[in-house]
Structure 1
Amino acid sequence: MVLFRIWRVQSILYTMVPASLYLGFSASIIWVAEGTYLTSTARSHAHDLNLEEGNVIGNFNGEFWGMFAGHQFVGNLMSLVLLKDGTGGTTSGSGTTLLYIVFLCSMTLGTILMCFLQKRDAKGEEILPDSSVSFYTSMVSLSKSVIAPLFDLRMLLIIPLIAYSGLQQAFVWAEYTKYIAEPALGESGVGGAMAVYGAFDAICSLAIGRLTSGLKSMTLIVCAGAFIQLIVLLWLLLRYSVTSGVLGILCPLLMAAALGIGDGIFNTQLNALLGMLFKHDMEGAFAQLKVWQCVSIAVVFFVSPYVSLHAVLVVMLVAVCISVVGFLFLTLMVEKAFSFAD
């Protein structure tokens, strides 16, 4: 029995770790490509219809992130149903099989649709691949493109906000579900709380995308999102305690809604902002976005077992203040360049 347990732990280690590395590597490529393609498509659409570029980029990002956040609502509702009896479907593999089927169908549909995409520049002209460029030259150019934004003051001022967006996502997944949702709502209620989070995330993304027009509008929206999450963090740090009754249910759900609104704001605004500021190096800019977000998420998951909720909240409060200050300084620095937006 002991040998079997050792073998089982080792088999999990030898399969899950490589699988996680592979998924992380693949996801990084997908997300950088998504940000670049969405922005270039928005510019092409704005050029074709003679529309304001900032408005179109905001709308496209709002619609994409609204659709993307919808998976959190649907997926967590499914988990709520599967866990409603408290067993989590452990007596039957039907729940797990259903999830795998949904994942497989979604991935297959996305792959098929991707085959019909065509990369276009800002003028709406199709870009054909250049077969004369060697693989080595392409890799060198790509490496320079990824590193170059780090020498741009604008990117350095955005990085704290990018890092905080990753922190707040990891906080919801790791800390909120463990210390807030589960004690108040039970294991089966976590899915319901996260469904509320996903619903408000999706609704906010769709709505905020329509309000995005330029740097000034982004500044107001980002400050509003940061203020909403700041209130939640202070509430958790100073006043919140798990209670019973109606308030014990409503408070975690209200927090989930506020955190979802903040996440929707940060997702739409950061992607639109990078698309507007880094027109000539979008791949490098979106690569930096995913690097700093993923680093922040990984740090939270690594240190979560060793630190208290109070310590995490203090770090989050400091991070949101630093990120907002950096973003406001960026706004002042490039305000003239985006005076056409409003």
Structure 2
Amino acid sequence: MANVMLYNVIVMGFSFMFLFTAFQTSSGIEQTVIESIDYDNKTSEHFGGSGYYSQAIIYGVFAFSNWLAPSVVSLIGPRVTMLVSALVYTGFIAIFLQLKIWTLYMMSVFLGFAAACIWTAQGNFLTINSTSETVGRNSGIFWAMLQCSLLFGNLFIFFEIGQTNTTHIEASQRQTIFIVLTSVSGIGVLMFLLLRNPKQYQDNSNQDIQVVSQDAEVKRGPLEALISAFKLLKKPHMLLLMVCFFYTGLELTFFSGVYGTSVGNTHLFGLKSKSYVALCGIFIGCGEIFGGATFGLLGNRTNKFGRDPIVLLGFITHIIAFYFCFINLPSEAPIKDVDVQGYFPPKLALALVTAFLLGFGDSCFNTQVYSILGYLFSKDSSPAFALFKFTQSLAAAIAFFYANQLMLQWQLLILVVFSVLGTLSFAMVEWTASRKFREGYESI
């Protein structure tokens, strides 16, 4: 059964890699694409849409849909949930082939609900295919495979638009990009069909370890799954973890939408500044992959010292990255195209190093969040991951709403404050709840 469980983790990793190669690439260039459409239409009707607002709608609906997602997963199972949700992702990407403002915002709503379902199902499926010994390893493997999506998708974008000396993405390029991305997303959908149904697993070499099977989750019933999510909110350690969850949502918005747009809007980088949006995405992906692979391969060793040192490493990495952003980019870059410098003339090399640090720091936080949730809440994995995604996506929605309004320095200040609070809250849970769990206490 151990081979089947590892097989499921790897296949799910490939499925998400293809699906999010398409989606994360689309998200990363969404605001730039809409600005390019407005550039093409400058003598005619203004498009009127906003990539920031589209993402805010996605994450806002995503947040509150997480309260219903455990019920959906419980009703139809994690495998079917992921398959159906992936179809919605593909539909969202396809609308960019003939983009209209009403389809953009309508599909953003649908995608928000699908995102809640697919991530709750993913957390549930990862947990039921892991043991307490393998959950850290499996989290790292999945995270590294998932973040390959940033690498592959942005490499394609960079070579597609990096050869032109224009400050926008032309219509023919946009058509080619989204035909390819829709096809890649379709491959991800098909790969979900290869997942197997895990069975109860018992490790006789050490101790009896119960891994909740898909069938057991279904028997809980959708109403009971919703009630379980509310019950988890009463646990003090879940409330502490939600501070860390909130920070991961803020920094998700920054690295996935704000940072690349800011680099692309800084015209002092040169005529190819828009192509550097994709280049930054590549380096963010490299940081994510390096972090996920490191903590996956060394999961057994790092867990001996606890999860908090890795989160502390992520905190330090992000503080350095935020400082580099502050000195390298103009304050108005998240909002509009600018021809002025920040505190120093912008340097592309420093921007790419910053991108790598943002990705690596994000992998530090997220791999350990996945690990601690799977470890402490293995019997309530579906509602636990739903609460994680609720808090993270709510923070992301808030951040996307203010991303188009606040200067860069104020966005960075918010990130610094919540990075401190999130790191401290995670460490408190690791020091207390994990120790009690190992000692056999139930009331964590």
* Coarse TM-score class (shorter-chain normalised): 0.7 to 0.9
Kindly tell me: are residues 25 and 120 of structure 1, through their superposed partners in 2, closer, same or farther at Cα, counting changes over 3 Å? farther
- Provide the residue aligned with 2:138 in structure 1: 60
Does the 8 Å CA contact 1:89/1:95 hold for their aligned counterparts?
no
Bigger RCO of structures 1 and 2 (CA < 8 A, at least 6 apart): 1
| Aligned match for 2:127, one of 39, 61, 66 | 39
| Aligned match for 1:171, one of 241, 245, 254 | 254
Structure 1 counterpart SS, 2:129 = helix
Does the 8 Å CA contact 1:145/1:283 hold for their aligned counterparts?
no
Q: Does 1:196 align with 2:283?
A: yes
Write the distance in 2 (CA, Å) between the matches of 1:195 and 1:291.
27
Write the distance in 2 (CA, Å) between the matches of 1:125 and 1:328.
27
Structure 2 counterpart SS, 1:324 = helix
Does the 8 Å CA contact 1:73/1:199 hold for their aligned counterparts?
yes
Deviation at 1:154, TM superposition (A): 0.7
Superimposed CA distance per residue, residues 8-51 of structure 1 (whole angstroms, 9 cap, x where no aligned partner): 98x934322221111111121111111111122111xxxxxxxx
Does the 8 Å CA contact 1:215/1:335 hold for their aligned counterparts?
no
Kindly tell me: are residues 201 and 130 of structure 1, through their superposed partners in 2, closer, same or farther at Cα, counting changes over 3 Å? closer
Kindly tell me: are residues 130 and 271 of structure 1, through their superposed partners in 2, closer, same or farther at Cα, counting changes over 3 Å? closer
Deviation at 1:282, TM superposition (A): 1.0
| Aligned match for 2:374, one of 275, 280, 295 | 275
Q: Does 1:16 align with 2:104?
A: yes
Write the distance in 2 (CA, Å) between the matches of 1:295 and 1:28.
11
| Aligned match for 1:232, one of 316, 321, 326 | 321
Deviation at 1:223, TM superposition (A): 0.5
Compute the TM-score of the two structures, normalised by the length of structure 1.
Answer: 0.84
Q: CA RMSD in A?
A: 2.9
Q: Which amino acid aligns with 1:281?
A: D
Q: Does 1:81 align with 2:159?
A: yes
Structure 2 counterpart SS, 1:42 = coil
Does the 8 Å CA contact 2:143/2:367 hold for their aligned counterparts?
yes
Structure 2 counterpart SS, 1:102 = helix
| Aligned match for 1:250, one of 337, 341, 349 | 349
Q: Which amino acid aligns with 1:148?
A: K
Q: Which amino acid aligns with 2:187?
A: C
| Aligned match for 2:422, one of 303, 323, 339 | 323
Q: Does 1:211 align with 2:291?
A: no
| Aligned match for 1:259, one of 337, 355, 358 | 358
Write the distance in 1 (CA, Å) between the matches of 2:310 and 2:150.
23
Does the 8 Å CA contact 1:41/1:120 hold for their aligned counterparts?
no
Which ranges of structure 2 fall in alignment gaps of 5 or more residues? 1-40, 50-98, 202-208, 330-340, 440-444
Give the paired residue count. 319
Does the 8 Å CA contact 1:215/1:338 hold for their aligned counterparts?
no
Write the distance in 1 (CA, Å) between the matches of 2:151 and 2:405.
30
Kindly tell me: are residues 247 and 94 of structure 1, through their superposed partners in 2, closer, same or farther at Cα, counting changes over 3 Å? closer
Write the distance in 1 (CA, Å) between the matches of 2:398 and 2:214.
39
